[in-house]
């Protein structure tokens, strides 16, 4: 059996540096567990002059990824450069050369995962991507292996640390969205384009990866309903608290009869729900399997060393197979690749859930009955109403929560309500997940 597994690293940024550091610091421990040494043979990056604060032999560094892709001595290519191209081309080239691949590239997997997974199968190599969702949290392995005997009934997850940090801060310490976003950016776990975090793009990528694993299917990103956190105001956070909820950006997947309901949006959840207590930049996953029942995973969804931990776990997993001369023991997705199908997502306007509305309505007799009349006409039943203060003739917030209603009916009702002369501005809508409502 091989006593040394060689890896080449493409991308020497934050996570790449973490991987090198982890291999330096825990290399002996890992070698003891694996029964072989993981040797870092080459590191490629466009900038090889910058100091990363760790000792690295200059001879390992190259600006040309081909030095890794064409090196017959390298068993595993670790792609940590991010972005779509040339990362996709490098991964495909590595596979063509019979090399295994480890990547943390969530955007690439969400859009080109099917192509990469099929290429891995065709070339008889492994692709590890534990770090792409949930950072250090072992959610990929859980879905692919630990819960293999289950039909996944649902997943509710906090998968974007930046949004969770912003919402937690706004909830616990107050402050406007803009101020708290600046703080998150300074802490270094936000994407370089903050829209990826706050508009839910990053989280939608992760939801797409989870869906392909849980249901063994391909997902078209454009079919996923996505809404970020930019419209959540301090007022809504305060009203949520009063109603016994906290607001979280949740990725939700639910198995319905022959369809999958999948959506990503800010969601009010009861404050005693485990997910409501996941704060700061932490990630968490509440998975329900038909046999396993509830499984809860929690941990750091980003950061140099936590993400490196997930990357190195993939390297070791693959190294074990390399030592035995096998590959593809666990397919990239849950199903055998032949069984992969297009996912059938439930049309978003058909979902049924609970809703919070914040109307901005003129304080005048009869206003409530006009609003509730439209809701009733659209089959929407009101659960609670809050109106604070009196500002006769001026706009005041009126908050309502509803029993289960259909999205299509809600949209139709809000269109009519927002056209009323007594309603000033667009009504705020936040979905609620509350079994008791
Ligand atoms: N920007 C991402 C987050 C980094 O905030 O979760 C980890 O994918």
Which residue, judged by its Cα, is nearest atom 8 of ligand 1? 302
**Is 302 close to ligand 1, i.e. is its CB under 6 Å away?**
yes
* Contact assessment for residue 7 and residue 74, using Cβ atoms and an 8 Å cutoff: yes
Of 100, 79, 113, 78, the C-alpha closest to 217 is: 113
Three-class DSSP category at 159 = coil
Cα 77 to Cα 218: distance, rounded to the nearest angstrom? 25
Rounded to 5°, the CA angle 85-88-89 comes to: 90
**Rg of the chain in Å (alpha carbons):** 24
Q: How remote is the CA of residue 301 from the centroid of ligand 1, in Å? A: 6
> Exactly one of 169, 206, 217, 248 is catalytic; which is it?
206
**Is 189 close to ligand 1, i.e. is its CB under 6 Å away?**
yes
pLDDT digits (tens, 9 = 90+) for 211-262: 999 887 788 899 999 999 999 989 999 999 999 999 999 999 999 988 999 9
Q: Return the structure tokens found at 284.
A: 């968490």
- Strand 382-387 and strand 352-362: pairing? unpaired
**Is 162 close to ligand 1, i.e. is its CB under 6 Å away?**
yes
Q: How remote is the CA of residue 161 from the centroid of ligand 1, in Å? A: 5
Q: How confident is the model at residue 128 (pLDDT cuts 50, 70, 90)?
A: very high
Give the sign of the dihedral formed by CA 124, CA 325, CA 217, CA 311: negative
Q: How confident is the model at residue 339 (pLDDT cuts 50, 70, 90)?
A: low
Of 230, 426, 263, 244, the C-alpha closest to 350 is: 263
Percent of the chain past pLDDT 70, that is, above it, reads: 97
Q: Taking 90 as the threshold, does the pLDDT of residue 388 lie above it?
A: no
Cα 11 to Cα 157: distance, rounded to the nearest angstrom? 28
- Mean pLDDT calculated for residue range 39-44: 98
* Contact assessment for residue 283 and residue 251, using Cβ atoms and an 8 Å cutoff: no
Instruction: Report the atom number in ligand 1 closest to the C-alpha of 283.
Output: 6
Q: What letter would DSSP give residue 326?
A: -
Cα 354 to Cα 405: distance, rounded to the nearest angstrom? 6
206 given a catalytic annotation: yes
Cα 214 to Cα 154: distance, rounded to the nearest angstrom? 9
Q: Taking 70 as the threshold, does the pLDDT of residue 336 lie above it?
A: no
pLDDT at 219 (0 to 100): 85
pLDDT at 383 (0 to 100): 97
Q: Taking 70 as the threshold, does the pLDDT of residue 47 lie above it?
A: yes
Which residue, judged by its Cα, is nearest atom 7 of ligand 1? 302
pLDDT at 415 (0 to 100): 98
Cα 363 to Cα 383: distance, rounded to the nearest angstrom? 21
pLDDT digits (tens, 9 = 90+) for 251-284: 999 999 889 999 999 999 999 999 999 999 999 9
How far does CA 51 lie from the centroid of its chain? 31
**Is 44 close to ligand 1, i.e. is its CB under 6 Å away?**
no
- Mean pLDDT calculated for residue range 102-113: 97
Three-class DSSP category at 100 = strand
φ, ψ dihedrals at 156, nearest 5°: -125, 125
Q: How confident is the model at residue 340 (pLDDT cuts 50, 70, 90)?
A: low
Assigned CATH topology for domain 349-432: Alpha-Beta Plaits (3.30.70)
Which residues face 37 on adjacent strands?
Answer: 4
pLDDT at 337 (0 to 100): 63
Q: How remote is the CA of residue 50 from the centroid of ligand 1, in Å? A: 24
pLDDT at 182 (0 to 100): 87
- Mean pLDDT calculated for residue range 170-191: 86
- Mean pLDDT calculated for residue range 89-106: 98
**Is 282 close to ligand 1, i.e. is its CB under 6 Å away?**
no
Whole-number average pLDDT of the chain? 94
Q: Taking 90 as the threshold, does the pLDDT of residue 169 lie above it?
A: yes
CATH 3.30.360.10 intervals, the chain: 144-299
Name the CATH architecture for the domain at 144-299. Answer: 2-Layer Sandwich (3.30)
Domain at 4-135+304-342, CATH homologous superfamily:
NAD(P)-binding Rossmann-like Domain (3.40.50.720)
3-state SS, one letter per residue, for the chain:
CCCEEEEEEECCCHHHHHHHHHHHHHHHHHHHHHCCEEEEEEEECCCCCCCCCCCCCHHHEECCCHHHHCCCCCCEEEECCCCCCCHHHHHHHHHHCCCEEEECCHHHHHHHHHHHHHHHHHCCCCEECHHHCCCCCCHHHHHHHHCCCCCEEEEEEECCHHHHHHHHHHHHCCCCHHHHHHHHHHHCCCCCCCHHHHCCHHHHHHHHHHHHHHCCEECCHHHCEECCCCCCCHHHHHHHHHHCEEEEEEEEEEECCCCEEEEEEEEEEECCCHHHHCCCCEEEEEEEECCCEEEEEEEECCCHHHHHHHHHHHHHHHHHHHHHCCCCCCCCCCCCHHHCEECCECCHHHCEEEEEEEEEEEECCCHHHHHHHHHHHCCCCEEEEEECCCCECCEEEEEEEECCEEHHHHHHHHHHHHCCCCECCCCEEEEECCCCC
pLDDT digits (tens, 9 = 90+) for 139-167: 999 999 999 999 999 999 999 999 999 99
* Contact assessment for residue 239 and residue 356, using Cβ atoms and an 8 Å cutoff: yes
Q: How confident is the model at residue 2 (pLDDT cuts 50, 70, 90)?
A: confident
CATH 3.40.50.720 intervals, the chain: 4-135+304-342
Q: Taking 90 as the threshold, does the pLDDT of residue 408 lie above it?
A: yes
**Is 79 close to ligand 1, i.e. is its CB under 6 Å away?**
no
- Mean pLDDT calculated for residue range 399-428: 97
pLDDT at 395 (0 to 100): 85
pLDDT at 272 (0 to 100): 96
Rounded to 5°, the CA angle 60-62-65 comes to: 115
Cα 386 to Cα 401: distance, rounded to the nearest angstrom? 9
Three-class DSSP category at 216 = coil
Pocket test for ligand 1, best of 189, 205, 305 (most atoms within 8 A of CB): 189
* Contact assessment for residue 160 and residue 249, using Cβ atoms and an 8 Å cutoff: yes
Instruction: Report the atom number in ligand 1 closest to the C-alpha of 163.
Output: 5
Q: Taking 70 as the threshold, does the pLDDT of residue 59 lie above it?
A: yes
pLDDT at 71 (0 to 100): 98
CATH 3.30.70.260 intervals, the chain: 349-432
**Is 190 close to ligand 1, i.e. is its CB under 6 Å away?**
yes
Q: How confident is the model at residue 29 (pLDDT cuts 50, 70, 90)?
A: very high
Q: How many CB atoms lie within 10 A of CB 141?
A: 17
Pocket test for ligand 1, best of 302, 307, 308, 310 (most atoms within 8 A of CB): 302
pLDDT at 187 (0 to 100): 83
Three-class DSSP category at 435 = coil
pLDDT at 246 (0 to 100): 98
């Amino acid at each position: 059996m091989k006593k040394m597994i060689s890896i080449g690293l493409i991308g020497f940024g934050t996570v790449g540096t973490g991987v090198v550091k982890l291999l330096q610091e825990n290399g002996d421990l890992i070698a003891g567990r694996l029964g072989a040494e993981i040797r870092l043979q080459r590191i490629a990056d466009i900038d090889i002059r910058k100091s990363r604060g760790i000792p690295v032999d200059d001879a390992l560094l190259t600006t040309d990824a081909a030095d890794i892709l064409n090196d017959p001595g390298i068993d595993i290519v670790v792609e940590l450069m991010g972005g779509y191209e040339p990362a996709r081309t490098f991964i495909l080239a590595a596979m063509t050369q019979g090399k295994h691949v480890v990547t943390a590239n969530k955007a690439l997997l969400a859009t080109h995962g099917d192509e990469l997974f099929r290429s891995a199968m065709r070339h008889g190599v492994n692709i590890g991507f534990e770090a792409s969702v949930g950072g250090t949290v072992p959610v990929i392995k859980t879905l692919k292996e630990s819960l293999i005997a289950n039909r996944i009934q649902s997943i509710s997850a906090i998968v974007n640390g930046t949004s969770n940090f912003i919402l937690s801060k706004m909830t616990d310490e107050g402050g406007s969205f803009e101020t708290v976003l600046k703080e998150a950016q300074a802490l270094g776990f936000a994407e370089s384009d903050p829209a990826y975090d706050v508009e839910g793009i990053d989280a939608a990528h992760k939801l797409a990866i989870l869906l392909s694993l849980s249901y063994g299917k391909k997902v078209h990103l454009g079919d996923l309903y996505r809404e970020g956190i930019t419209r959540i105001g301090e007022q809504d956070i305060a009203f949520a608290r009063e109603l016994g909820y906290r607001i979280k950006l949740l990725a939700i997947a639910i198995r319905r009869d022959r369809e999958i309901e999948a959506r990503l949006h800010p969601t009010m959840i009861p404050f005693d729900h485990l997910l409501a207590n996941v704060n700061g930049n932490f990630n968490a996953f509440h998975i329900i399997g038909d046999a396993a029942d509830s499984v809860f995973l929690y941990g750091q969804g980003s950061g140099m060393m936590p993400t490196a931990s997930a990357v190195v776990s993939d390297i070791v997993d693959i190294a074990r197979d390399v030592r035995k001369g096998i590959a593809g023991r666990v397919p990239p997705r849950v199903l055998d690749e032949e069984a992969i199908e297009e996912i059938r997502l439930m049309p978003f306007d058909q979902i049924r859930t609970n809703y919070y509305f914040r109307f901005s309505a003129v304080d005048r007799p009869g206003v409530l009955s006009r609003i509730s009349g439209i809701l009733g006409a659209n089959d929407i039943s009101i659960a609670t109403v809050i109106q604070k203060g009196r500002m006769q003739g001026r706009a005041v917030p009126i908050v309502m929560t509803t029993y289960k209603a259909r999205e299509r009916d809600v949209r139709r009702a809000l269109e009519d309500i927002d056209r009323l002369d007594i309603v000033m501005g667009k009504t705020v809508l936040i979905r609620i997940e509350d079994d008791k409502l």
